[in-house]
Structure 1
Amino acid sequence: MAGIVLSGSCSSRLLLRDREAGSNGASLAQYNGLKAVDTMHLPSSRTPKLSCSGPKCRTIRAMASPTVSAPKRETDPKKRIVITGMGLVSVFGSDIDNFYNKLLEGESGITQIDKFDATNYSVRFAGQIRDFSSKGYIDGKNDRRLDDCWRYCLVAGRRALDEANLGSEALEKLDKTRIGVLVGTGMGGLTAFSNGVEALIQKGYKKITPFFIPYSITNMGSALLAIDTGLMGPNYSISTACATANYCFYAAANHIRRGEADIMVAGGTEAAVMPTGIGGFIACRALSQRNDEPKRASRPWDKDRDGFVMGEGCGVLVMESLDHAMQRGANIIAEYLGGAVTCDAHHMTDPRSDGLGVSSCISKSLEDAGVSPEEVNYVNAHATSTLAGDLAEVNAIKMVFKNTSEIKMNGTKSMIGHGLGAAGGLEAIATVKAITTGWLHPTINQDNLEPEVTIDTVPNVKKQHEVNVAISNSFGFGGHNSVVVFAPFKP
């Protein structure tokens, strides 16, 4: 049977091969209207020519771009957005410098799963977080009740605020109605949800914990962080699968630009390394099955890649107007220049054959940032290590950047796995650290590079590189595309 191409979450575009049916027996292609298709590659031309079948298919015309002047970056200090704090929970711990040093060393954080008994699972490894501690951030009683998704969010969010010198005493001196929280998640409180369903089935509805609903719904990360810190500005969550965190950064920035907030705490959190999460993606036939060598399983752009590796964690940025940051004497780490979100508007899981959604998202992000393609020299790629997704992203990048000789591109997921809704948050931090340190982490497990990948992927060994402008890509199920643009801060 032909391959099944899935787009979006977990891999911007997944090519799943028909493997032996598991206990559920049937192939994913039999459900939800998914159709078997051949591997699709993006055309080299910028003019899309879409060919498809089915009642929902429609032709997309590329409009000729009018002559425009050179892009201009934002100069209004009330609308310029800077990064003043970062916080994370990762497979390498919660210290940002240690996290990035591990990445620079090319160390893999992928290990055998021991959070639950995965002995009988066809995939038994992941980017599982170990030795996580919430001490000093969550009291013991609440800590025992919380889903890991929210525990990671509270710790990463509080650490980001601390780095931004926005601890409890500092916050008391600020207008908290102008500080918002926007931390999204792709899956939500998956353990809380699974435990609630199990209690219902085994013991009846009277045995469901009252925390079942609150700790399952996707907005609870933002809500709990605001409750904990007293932040009363814009507060909600976005859930666009693996594009989530970048969507949150983009939306948060626009709240500041519109004058609705001075500071936004934004990012993504996820904790899906548990039976339902692993089992569900096994059912999709999306995961690598390299059980004998898990540290070599995530291998973006390598010919021998066979799927992505599940990860988890949280990545949060404190985004602040330049004007407000300067008034309070904040330490400015880097600048957020802009971003964009688009939709393939094509299929729930299949990618567009013309790549218009991804390439237009990159182009729109540069337009929003006031940046020309020639200024970009670093891409933190979505790069999930899936057969179709890796090449689709590369081809879309080539459509936007005609000359890629000065561009370096790496895949953070090669070492930490795919954090789903948290991926963009963790990768934004890696992008900012590349800007501030002048070093790019490698893409590990680059043994047999696809010949179509002609961009420098920083294979296996870190490289020194002065970043001028960087973009970070994230894509999700439903055809959601998101790109954010960062640069060194220059007053």
Structure 2
Amino acid sequence: MRRVVITGMGALTPIGNSVDAFWENALAGVSGAGPIKTFDTANFKTQFACELKDFNAEDHLDRKERKKYDMFTQYSLVAVDEAVKQADIDFENIDLDRVGVIWGSGNGGIQTFEEQLKEYHDGDGTPRFSPFFIPRILVDIAAGVISMKYGLCGINFAPVSACATSTTAIIEAFNYVRWNKADMIVAGGSESPIGAATIGGFNSLKALSTKNDDYATASRPFDIDRDGFVMGEGAGALIVEELEHAKKRGATILAEIVGGGMAADAYHLTGTHPEGLGAIKGMNLAIEEAGITADQVDYVNMHATSTPNGDISEIIALDAIFEKRKSLMVSGTKSMTGHLLGAAGAIEAILCAKSIMHQMVPPTINVENFIPECQDSYIFPVGKGVPAKVDYALSNTFGFGGHIAAVLLKRYEE
């Protein structure tokens, strides 16, 4: 089976608009939360989120692109541009039929959908929908637009598995490359979900934190006082490439992908299995595929959304595999970025790759009192990143519908 590596990464997050800025702020324990600026939240239970900071689309895209594409697609183009530049790809000298795009989103163009329906509702009843309305809202359109920008004619599709989406995309890219169906794939996900419909809908589910007076510390995975997740937005991109193809063109190899596990809780519409059964399957599959044992995993970036039940079920799953091994490093980085929904897995895989590259582990922030399930187990860096031996890093993501995806990265060796 062919070996698969990561040769480029791009990130657009609430705590940094590039991979380096994202990594630096993650190690520093920066919170991306703030009052929502996208719409008037006066009547909403939750009035804050993790929005992008100092991001101007016009700095990256021309007017025609901004008109044609929803923000989730615009975010994808910005993140992919960074990844392509880091990977130093000369598209004129590789076989573009062997280069694909697997890019997902949980919600697609939900902002466009909301805006266009509101305009129709507030108008005189005459449908004046934009000719770009349909392509702007399609979940798969970002994958298509990325392929058009670079002329990539290989595998092209958009997986959708809610908050597991971009991890699913990475695993799919890993599989297609090692199966010799492609030599290189642009993989990841993007999300622009901060709007009235989404915030209101998640409020109705009682999924979001309502700590409006203390928004900077609202996302607090593993803490006794957690009350829900904080919405985030952005994108994460990875260039997934076959090892020999990467070496032939002189690419810098950042990390190796060695395992991917996908499973289902088959339990509840929005909740994880209380015993973490799906998570156990996903993590075990990734570890087994890598041909290692659980005691070789050095770091787990947990899904850890800061919901009362979700955090506990994931810890239970972790215990089933790692047996409270006190040398295992664990963190919940959504405490800083918020939950980027379909894009969460991609930015968290980037943190895992950076942890391997720099032998550092990012922290969980805002934890004051650990839940009993976390006590006397694992190493939970709090507040600031810490140096650590990281040869293998595992990233977990779970999505509404019971979707489970776990990807395992390894320090690259010849």
Q: TM-score, normalised by structure 1?
A: 0.82
Structure 2 residue 257 is matched with structure 1 residue 297 = no
C-alpha displacement at 1:136, in angstroms? 6.2
Q: State the alpha-carbon separation in 2 of the partners of residues 128 and 350 from structure 1.
A: 25
Q: State the alpha-carbon separation in 2 of the partners of residues 380 and 114 from structure 1.
A: 29
Aligned match of 1:199? 119
Q: State the alpha-carbon separation in 2 of the partners of residues 107 and 201 from structure 1.
A: 40
Which of 256, 260, 281 is equivalent to 2:202? Answer: 281
Aligned match of 1:439? 360
Letter in 2 for 1:329: G
Q: What's the secondary structure of 1:98's corresponding residue?
A: helix
Q: State the alpha-carbon separation in 2 of the partners of residues 200 and 95 from structure 1.
A: 37
- Partner deviation per Cα, 1:294-345 (whole Å, 9 max, x = no partner): 1010000000101100001100100000010011111101111110110112
Structure 2 residue 391 is matched with structure 1 residue 471 = no
Q: State the alpha-carbon separation in 1 of the partners of residues 17 and 187 from structure 2.
A: 17
Structure 2 residue 238 is matched with structure 1 residue 317 = yes
Letter in 1 for 2:163: C
Aligned match of 1:99? 22
For the structure 1 residues 84 and 136, does the alpha-carbon distance in structure 2 shift closer, same or farther, using more than 3 Å as the test? farther
Aligned match of 1:259? 180
CA contact (8 A) 1:187 1:272 kept: yes
Q: State the alpha-carbon separation in 2 of the partners of residues 281 and 148 from structure 1.
A: 20
Aligned match of 2:331? 410
C-alpha displacement at 1:185, in angstroms? 0.3
Q: State the alpha-carbon separation in 1 of the partners of residues 92 and 59 from structure 2.
A: 19
Q: State the alpha-carbon separation in 2 of the partners of residues 161 and 449 from structure 1.
A: 40
- Partner deviation per Cα, 1:24-75 (whole Å, 9 max, x = no partner): xxxxxxxxxxxxxxxxxxxxxxxxxxxxxxxxxxxxxxxxxxxxxxxxxxxx
Letter in 1 for 2:405: S
Aligned pairs (5 A) from 1:388-427: 388-427=309-348
C-alpha displacement at 1:246, in angstroms? 0.7
Q: What's the secondary structure of 1:452's corresponding residue?
A: helix
C-alpha displacement at 1:94, in angstroms? 2.0
CA contact (8 A) 1:80 1:322 kept: yes
For the structure 1 residues 263 and 299, does the alpha-carbon distance in structure 2 shift closer, same or farther, using more than 3 Å as the test? same
- More displaced, 198-207 or 446-455? 198-207
For the structure 1 residues 228 and 137, does the alpha-carbon distance in structure 2 shift closer, same or farther, using more than 3 Å as the test? farther
CA RMSD of aligned residues (A): 1.3
Aligned match of 2:405? 482
Q: What's the secondary structure of 2:373's corresponding residue?
A: coil
CA contact (8 A) 1:303 1:448 kept: yes
- More displaced, 98-107 or 457-466? 457-466
C-alpha displacement at 1:137, in angstroms? 4.1
CA contact (8 A) 1:268 1:422 kept: yes
- Partner deviation per Cα, 1:109-137 (whole Å, 9 max, x = no partner): 11111111112211110001132134564
Q: What's the secondary structure of 2:260's corresponding residue?
A: strand
For the structure 1 residues 343 and 205, does the alpha-carbon distance in structure 2 shift closer, same or farther, using more than 3 Å as the test? farther
Aligned match of 1:111? 34
Q: State the alpha-carbon separation in 2 of the partners of residues 120 and 136 from structure 1.
A: 33
CA contact (8 A) 2:275 2:313 kept: no
CA contact (8 A) 2:232 2:341 kept: yes
Q: State the alpha-carbon separation in 2 of the partners of residues 205 and 229 from structure 1.
A: 38
CA contact (8 A) 1:126 1:310 kept: yes
Aligned match of 2:63? 140
Letter in 2 for 1:283: S
C-alpha displacement at 1:292, in angstroms? 0.6
Aligned match of 2:94? 174
Q: Which has the larger radius of gyration?
A: 1
- Partner deviation per Cα, 1:157-199 (whole Å, 9 max, x = no partner): 1211111002xxx101111110000110001101111122223
Q: What's the secondary structure of 1:335's corresponding residue?
A: strand
CA contact (8 A) 2:15 2:31 kept: no
Q: State the alpha-carbon separation in 1 of the partners of residues 74 and 287 from structure 2.
A: 34
Aligned match of 2:261? 340
CA contact (8 A) 1:137 1:158 kept: no
Letter in 2 for 1:413: K
For the structure 1 residues 179 and 202, does the alpha-carbon distance in structure 2 shift closer, same or farther, using more than 3 Å as the test? same
Q: What's the secondary structure of 2:188's corresponding residue?
A: strand
For the structure 1 residues 461 and 94, does the alpha-carbon distance in structure 2 shift closer, same or farther, using more than 3 Å as the test? closer
- Partner deviation per Cα, 1:399-445 (whole Å, 9 max, x = no partner): 01125111010011001100000100111111111111111111111
Aligned match of 1:70? none
For the structure 1 residues 159 and 135, does the alpha-carbon distance in structure 2 shift closer, same or farther, using more than 3 Å as the test? farther
C-alpha displacement at 1:85, in angstroms? 0.1
Q: What's the secondary structure of 1:143's corresponding residue?
A: helix
CA contact (8 A) 1:185 1:421 kept: yes
Q: State the alpha-carbon separation in 2 of the partners of residues 351 and 92 from structure 1.
A: 27
Aligned length: 411
CA contact (8 A) 1:93 1:132 kept: no
Q: What's the secondary structure of 1:206's corresponding residue?
A: coil
Structure 1 segments unaligned to the other structure (5+ residues) = 1-75
Q: What's the secondary structure of 2:256's corresponding residue?
A: strand
- More helix per residue: 1 or 2? 2
Structure 2 residue 249 is matched with structure 1 residue 328 = yes
- More displaced, 387-396 or 140-149? 140-149
Aligned match of 1:156? 79
Q: What's the secondary structure of 1:267's corresponding residue?
A: strand
Q: What's the secondary structure of 2:235's corresponding residue?
A: strand
Letter in 2 for 1:474: T
- Partner deviation per Cα, 1:205-242 (whole Å, 9 max, x = no partner): 53011111101010011011111111111001011110
CA contact (8 A) 2:18 2:82 kept: no
For the structure 1 residues 307 and 135, does the alpha-carbon distance in structure 2 shift closer, same or farther, using more than 3 Å as the test? same
C-alpha displacement at 1:356, in angstroms? 1.8
Q: State the alpha-carbon separation in 2 of the partners of residues 252 and 483 from structure 1.
A: 14
Q: State the alpha-carbon separation in 1 of the partners of residues 60 and 35 from structure 2.
A: 28
Structure 2 residue 105 is matched with structure 1 residue 185 = yes
Structure 2 residue 2 is matched with structure 1 residue 82 = no
For the structure 1 residues 280 and 260, does the alpha-carbon distance in structure 2 shift closer, same or farther, using more than 3 Å as the test? same
Which of 379, 382, 385 is equivalent to 1:456? Answer: 379
Q: What's the secondary structure of 2:164's corresponding residue?
A: helix
Q: What's the secondary structure of 1:338's corresponding residue?
A: strand
